[in-house]
Amino acid sequence: MRPADKATSLSRLAAIYDSAGIYLVGLLLLIAGTFVSGEFLTPKNLMNILNAVSLLGIAAAGMAFVTYSGNMADLSIPSIMAFSGIISVAALPLGLAPALVLGVSAGMLIGAMNGFVVGRFNANPILWTLAVAFFMEGFMRFTWSNTQVYPDIEPGTAGAAFIGIFRLSIGPLPLIVVVMVLMFVTCHLVLTRTRFGIESKLVGSSKAAAKTTGINVPRVVLMDFLAAAFCASIAGIFLTSMNKLGVFYLGKGYDFKSVTAVVIGGMMLSGGRGNMLGVFGGVLVIGLLANIMTFIGINTFQQNIVTGAIFIAVVGLHQYQLRKRGKDYA
């Protein structure tokens, strides 16, 4: 193959991939799955996959706001998840609803801090949120003496209801799946139909140009981090409910997994490109992939290797595509 041919076929690949290609990948995985196991294409297994990716999906929907607005990633998402869970559990004596509100507020407090510092002072989002994650881990371990926080799960208490959240179903659908889908629909509408969404796109494309266009860049960035923290808090509460306890390490790994879902869903790390439907596709693909690998008998560590490799390949493809268009600045 001549270099020119290779170049065009690669860029064609990139173009196809960008436009809803993630669903094509998902379809291919569905087909591949049927060859792997007879149990793959059963409603039960498919529901399992959805159930398994729901937490990731909720967190990734939030992460997408941060990436879309050109702030790459919020690495404090795991600590937000853990913190909102711990606070909810700790506040359960006040009743279920107050506990949930407090849990989400606690998580959003971290988001507000992130958004304020990154938006107002132009802090590097990766480093800042990494520092916040480090700080929060220390803070939670210190405050709760390095132990787990258990809810009171006597039947009839708020604790029992809290534990039940993860296990609730609406008809045949688990609550968490419904929540994830609703989250994605809402986030999609927010990104495409609201001033906040449009302004996030502009800020993600060029902060400097957004400023001279009269957009309040710090406010938009603050709201993006708040959105991420809101989603992460919801995910954190489900995760805590699932584990029946709150502890500082819950949520571990959701930082990188969410960025992977966001990026393979077609959102570029440089901001301003992609959409929520793509991110949803990215989440589904990660779920399908993990499921298939489990059927084949690949263990979690090896699965991590595969996920990491896919992330590198997709980022490389994006970069290649940008350079190809003569846009080195992207």
Partner 1 sequence: MISDSDNIGIALRMKGVSKKYPGTLAVDSVDFEARVGEVHALMGENGAGKSTLMKILAGSFNDYTGSIFIGQKEVKLHSPSMARAYGIGMIYQELSLARPISIAENLLIGRLPRKYGFWLDRNAMVQQACRLCDRVGLDLDPLQTIEEISHHQSQLVEIAKVLGSNPCVLVMDEPTSALSREDVGRLFGIIRQLKNRGITIIYISHHLPEVFEIADRVTIMRDGQIIDTKPINEVTPPMVVQMMVGQAIDEFYVQRRPNIGETVLDVHNLTRKGFFHNVSFHARKGEILGVAGLTGAGRTEMARSMCGLDPLDSGTIEVAGKQLQQHSYSTAMEHGMLYLSEDRKTDGLFLRLSVKQNMVSAIIDRHTRCGIYSSRHENAKTTELIRKLDIITSSTSADVSNLSGGNQQKVLLGKWIAADPTILVLDEPSRGVDIKAKMKIHKAIIELADNGRAIVLISSDLPELVGLSDRVVVMRDGHLISEMQKDRLSEESVLLAMNGEPG
Residues that bind partner 1 (CB under 8 A): 3-4, 7-8, 193-199, 201-202, 205-206, 208-216, 270, 272-273, 324-330
For the chain, how big is the Rg over CA atoms in Å?
20
Nearest approach in angstroms of CB 221 to partner 1 is: 16
Contact criterion met (CB below 8 Å) for 10 and 318: no
The two tokens of residue 234 are 């919801």
Q: Return the number of the residue (59 or 202) whose C-beta is nearest partner 1.
A: 202
Nearest to 75, CA basis, from 263, 308, 258: 258
Contact criterion met (CB below 8 Å) for 267 and 111: no
Nearest approach in angstroms of CB 62 to partner 1 is: 19
Q: Return the number of the residue (190 or 242) whose C-beta is nearest partner 1.
A: 190
Q: What is the rounded CA–CA span in Å between residue 124 and residue 79?
A: 18
Report the Cα–Cα distance between both ends of the chain, in Å, rounded: 29
Amino acid at 168: L
Backbone angles phi, psi at 174, to 5 degrees: -65, 145
The two tokens of residue 87 are 């606070």
For 135-176, give the secondary structure using H, E and C.
Answer: HHHHHHHHHCCCCCECCCCCCCCHHHHHHHHCCCEECCEEHH
Backbone angles phi, psi at 93, to 5 degrees: -55, -20
Q: What is the rounded CA–CA span in Å between residue 65 and residue 132?
A: 18
Nearest approach in angstroms of CB 198 to partner 1 is: 5
Nearest approach in angstroms of CB 80 to partner 1 is: 24
The two tokens of residue 186 are 């809402």
Backbone angles phi, psi at 86, to 5 degrees: -60, -45
